[in-house]
Structure 1
């Protein structure tokens, strides 16, 4: 497979390039939560409880720079900002769904109780 450069970075496969857009702990969960409706920062933060403010900000900026989400600023006081999926971001949802189903299968194969029962 031929290697290629994009944004001064060398990629060896299209998989590696795709993972540069979707990979990491938080990008797919953020995209998944935006598929139904636009959300504000605090809504996302509440729905993804273990992410820090700094990490959520960083991931939102990366997703925006890759063209996967829109950031819309409303001219009100205090400022209101909403994040939504772009068409490019919507194309990622079936991929995320497939990975999620595969994850569920791996969990089941490992004999892990999921979701875990609350104590």
Structure 2
């Protein structure tokens, strides 16, 4: 499955309402995911009531997609993970893109 096919498949589940690029040298993945969903909601990240850890293990995602590896050997994974959070479909790609889809539209 190509990257565009994955993007289209997620898009079939709703309308893209927010996206953010994660830079592991700049912020934690958790912060970027919550910020992207807050952007979709039109609120500040601290105003989201549901904790992210109830939807996904963001630390495990960060380790899989963005870790530097052990003994200088890369362990970065390739792919996309999808999960539901605060009523949205959220995708996190190994390319760093976090996309938030509104499934009701």
Give the structure-1-normalised TM-score. Answer: 0.28
Whose RCO is larger (CA < 8 A, sep 6+)? Answer: 2
Name the structure with the higher helix share: 1
Give the structure-2-normalised TM-score. Answer: 0.30
Instruction: Give the greater-gyration-radius structure (CA).
Output: 1
Name the structure with the higher strand share: 2
